[in-house]
């Protein structure tokens, strides 16, 4: 979408493209309707001055947060006034492009009530939440425990004499700490606490606790609540009020415990439903699946900036060609940049698949079919982990690919990184999540002779064959076969999982032995997830991609798979499935792929359709007019508000005139 000033410094690049750009835009948006909504919402946000992102990195925290409240309020008003649909509203939020309390309200508070509340409870709370008459957050993590949910300390003790729960924070470490939206905005918190009836601890359950007055927003009696402080980077995640919360024997009605999975009766009897208690983690599964497509969006932003800038930037030259070379011509630049471009495409394809996987499990859960839950949990946890780690590192790599100018906030990259990097931690620390995948793999392998693995674990059913047959590639083009590639990823993953499973099986089964093997377990989980990513990218390509874009997608798919193979060559070689020579052949093929991407690179990032407003980058501008805008940008710097700097009289002048210090100088 062009919104530059008409002069297109990248026109030559665009003229080289060999695919149907419009068809690619529609594919990446997820369909024609999604594309149209996206275009409309992007313009709506870009044309509304309230949503301006200008100066965000320069604002003090108080002003930044207040402005973020203003934007969230204005977004809600716009949604209501224009009668936007849910999909349009979500897109509008997406283009407003800053983390805010409404994310947790819509993204976790409401899904948790839907997943864990009874019908009656949903009828009571959801209408209030839908019209935002209450604002909710998801208060699970505490100062002392985040990953270990079972270790949370907040208590909810039932008092049958008043038919109430007493919410209490017994220790400093039980203080709720981190929940977004809790610090300053929320009126209600979905609190995860230990349920205690008649002195018996039933473990962690969810409760809706009012925390602020609906009259004047002051904290309710015996509730201590506030913001936890400034976070990493300028702007970034600082628009969010991550908060702390303590209860001092605060009473809430019995009906405020979400009771779909377990109930407490009026006389204090605890009754579990026959549904798996892991459904209590449903809101996390929901967000984790959404994070994969989000990773693609964040990575594609960084890659758009780095590709466009690399086509504009010129350094050095060679005697065969006149003038200096565009840095995108350098093989080293391509080998760092093009795999990230391919990764952004891969995550988009896999994100679409994740949506269908999630829709399927929800349908099954509604029919009381819980059979696919462990696989969906492993998939969402594992892919959340891999895609966020790669994306965060990828944004930083793009910053370096832009040289010195990448370090300026005007490049848009520092703020993008600051806003994104906590995704490696929230919704589950990435190592913790890979260990969950590893446990799933071990369990699947231990049952493989009795239960045939399904879905993304189905290949483990062929473990014998995958463990004995080796790769048959003898020439470079043998790699240009998706079955050959898939088998390589399957064999590597199956062998890594089997090796660690065997080692554990030979041991005593102690937790210490498990701990000893966690580095290998994490590696095998990563291998399994990389297989899912490669296989789902291939699968998505093979199911109805339009003719005008198929070739380019194939090139990107091979680029992605080869770069994964090469980056993890150590693992592939250690399993004995491939030889060093076969890896070297894949390297050559990868270079051929770079040659195919090169003329299409700028068009391939144009296809993500990020507007200049959304990118917020002088380096990634659509028109490539980088230098003019970097220069103009310097004049927005507050240090340049005056030509003589504030502080000159007190601190610079004495140095320059040496009145103060010269007598003591030994020079």
Among the listed ranges 110-118, 158-166, 174-182, 441-449, the one in contact with ligand FAD (CB under 6 A) is 174-182
Whether residue 427 lies in the annotated active site: yes
Q: Which of 662, 626, 641, 647 is nearest to 326 (CA)?
A: 626
Residue 237 binds to ligand FAD (criterion: CB under 6 A): yes
Q: In whole angstroms, give the CA distance from residue 18 to residue 10.
A: 15
Closest CB 361 distance from ligand FAD, rounded Å: 22
Is 89 part of any known ligand binding site? no
| # residues contacting ligand FAD (CB under 6 A) | 20
- Are 25 and 552 in contact by the 8 Å Cβ rule? The answer is no
Residue 426 binds to ligand FAD (criterion: CB under 6 A): yes
Closest CB 398 distance from ligand 3IX, rounded Å: 18
Q: In whole angstroms, give the CA distance from residue 401 to residue 340.
A: 11
Integer angstrom CA distances of residue 49 from 52, 443, 526 = 5, 54, 44
Residue 357: exposed, middle, or buried by beta-carbon count in 10 A (0-12, 13-18, 19+)? buried
Integer angstrom CA distances of residue 653 from 49, 580, 643, 646, 666 = 41, 65, 15, 11, 20
Q: In whole angstroms, give the CA distance from residue 269 to residue 263.
A: 8
CB closer to ligand FAD out of 522 and 561 = 522
Residue 147 binds to ligand 3IX (criterion: CB under 6 A): yes
Q: Can you tell me which of 107, 117, 428, 453 binds ligand FAD, judged by CB under 6 A?
A: 428
Q: In whole angstroms, give the CA distance from residue 249 to residue 225.
A: 14
Pairing of β 250-253 and β 243-247: unpaired
Residue 232 binds to ligand FAD (criterion: CB under 6 A): no
Among the listed ranges 38-46, 291-299, 329-337, 426-434, the one in contact with ligand FAD (CB under 6 A) is 426-434
Check residue 461 and report its DSSP letter: G
CB closer to ligand FAD out of 146 and 394 = 146
Residue list 126-165, contact with ligand FAD (CB under 6 A): 138-141, 145-147
Closest CB 409 distance from ligand FAD, rounded Å: 20
CB closer to ligand FAD out of 147 and 481 = 147
* Among ligand 3IX, ligand FAD, none, residue 281 binds (CB under 5-8 Å by kind): ligand 3IX
Strand, helix or coil for residue 165? strand
Residue list 220-279, contact with ligand 3IX (CB under 6 A): 278
588 backbone dihedrals φ, ψ, rounded to 5°: -65, -45
First to last CA, the chain: 61
Closest CB 174 distance from ligand FAD, rounded Å: 13
427, 490, 523, 589: which one is catalytic? 427
Q: Can you tell me which of 432, 499, 573, 574 binds ligand 3IX, judged by CB under 6 A?
A: 432
CB closer to ligand FAD out of 425 and 579 = 425
Is 141 part of any known ligand binding site? yes
- Which run of H or E residues covers position 176? strand 176-177
Closest residue to bound ligand FAD by CB: 146
Core vs surface per residue 554-574: b (16+ CB within 10 A) or e: bbbbbbbbbbbbbebbebbee
Positions touching ligand FAD (CB under 6 A) are 104, 138-141, 145-147, 178-180, 237, 242, 422, 425-426, 428-429, 431-432
Catalytic residues: 427
Q: Known binding site for FAD: residues?
A: 141, 180
Site residues (vs ligand 3IX, CB under 6 A): 103-104, 107-108, 138, 140-141, 146-147, 149-150, 180, 278, 281, 284-285, 287, 290-291, 294, 373-374, 377, 423, 426-428, 432, 436, 439, 443
């Amino acid at each position: 979408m062009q919104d530059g000033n008409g002069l297109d410094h990248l026109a030559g690049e665009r003229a080289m493209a060999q695919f149907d750009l419009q068809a690619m835009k529609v594919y990446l948006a997820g369909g024609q309707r999604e594309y149209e909504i996206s275009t409309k919402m992007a313009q709506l946000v870009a044309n509304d001055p309230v949503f301006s992102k200008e100066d965000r990195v320069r604002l003090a925290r108080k002003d930044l947060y207040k402005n973020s409240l203003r934007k969230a309020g204005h977004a809600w008003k716009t949604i209501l006034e224009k009668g936007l649909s849910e999909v349009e509203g979500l897109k509008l939020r997406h283009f407003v492009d800053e983390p805010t309390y409404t994310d947790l309200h819509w993204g976790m508070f409401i899904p948790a009530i839907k997943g864990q509340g009874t019908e009656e409870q949903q009828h009571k709370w959801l209408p209030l939440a839908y019209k935002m008459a209450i604002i909710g957050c998801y208060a699970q993590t505490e100062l002392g425990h985040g990953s270990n949910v079972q270790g949370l300390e907040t208590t909810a003790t039932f008092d049958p004499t008043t038919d109430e729960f007493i919410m209490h924070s017994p220790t400093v470490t039980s203080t709720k700490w981190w929940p977004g939206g809790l610090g300053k905005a929320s009126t209600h918190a979905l609190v995860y606490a230990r349920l205690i009836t008649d002195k018996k601890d039933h473990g962690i359950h969810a409760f809706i606790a009012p925390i602020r007055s609906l009259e004047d927003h002051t904290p309710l009696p015996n509730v201590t609540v506030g913001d936890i402080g400034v976070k990493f980077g300028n702007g970034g995640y600082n628009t969010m009020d991550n908060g702390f919360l303590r209860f001092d024997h605060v009473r809430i009605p019995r009906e405020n415990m979400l009771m779909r999975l377990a109930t407490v009766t009026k006389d204090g009897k605890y009754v579990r439903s026959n549904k798996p208690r892991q459904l209590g983690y449903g809101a996390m599964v929901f967000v984790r699946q959404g994070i994969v497509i989000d990773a693609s969006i964040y990575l594609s932003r960084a890659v758009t900036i780095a590709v466009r800038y690399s086509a504009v930037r010129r350094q050095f030259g060679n005697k065969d060609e006149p003038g200096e070379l565009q840095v995108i011509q350098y093989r080293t630049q391509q080998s760092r940049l093009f795999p990230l471009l391919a990764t952004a495409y891969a995550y988009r394809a896999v994100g679409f698949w994740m949506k269908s996987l999630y829709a399927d499990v929800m349908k099954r859960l509604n029919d009381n079919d819980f059979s696919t839950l462990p696989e969906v949990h492993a998939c969402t946890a594992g892919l959340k982990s891999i895609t966020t780690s790669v994306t965060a590192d990828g944004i930083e790599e793009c910053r370096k690919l832009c040289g010195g100018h990448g370090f300026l906030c005007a490049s848009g990259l520092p703020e993008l990184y600051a806003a994104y990097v906590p995704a490696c931690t929230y919704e589950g620390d990435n190592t913790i999540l890979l260990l969950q995948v590893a446990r799933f793999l071990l369990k699947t392998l231990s049952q493989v002779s009795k239960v045939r693995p399904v879905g993304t674990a189905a290949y483990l059913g062929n473990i014998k064959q995958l463990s004995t047959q080796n790769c048959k590639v003898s020439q470079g083009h043998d790699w240009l076969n998706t079955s050959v590639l898939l088998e390589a990823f399957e064999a590597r993953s199956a062998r890594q999982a089997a090796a660690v499973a065997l080692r554990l099986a030979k041991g005593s089964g102690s937790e210490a032995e498990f701990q000893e093997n966690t580095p290998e377990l994490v590696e095998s989980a990563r291998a399994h997830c990389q297989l899912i990513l490669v296989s789902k990218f291939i699968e998505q390509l093979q199911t109805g991609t339009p003719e005008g874009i198929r070739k380019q997608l194939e090139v990107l798919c091979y680029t992605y798979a080869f770069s994964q193979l090469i980056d993890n060559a150590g693992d592939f070689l250690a399993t004995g499935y491939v030889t060093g020579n076969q890896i070297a052949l894949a390297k050559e093929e990868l270079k051929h792929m770079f040659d195919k991407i090169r003329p299409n690179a700028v068009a391939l990032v144009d296809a993500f359709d990020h507007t200049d407003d959304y990118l917020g980058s002088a380096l990634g501008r659509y028109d490539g007019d980088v230098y003019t805008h970097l220069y103009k940008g310097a004049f927005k710097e507050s240090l340049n508000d005056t030509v003589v700097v504030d502080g000159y009289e007190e601190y610079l002048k004495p140095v320059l005139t040496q009145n103060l210090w010269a007598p003591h100088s030994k020079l």
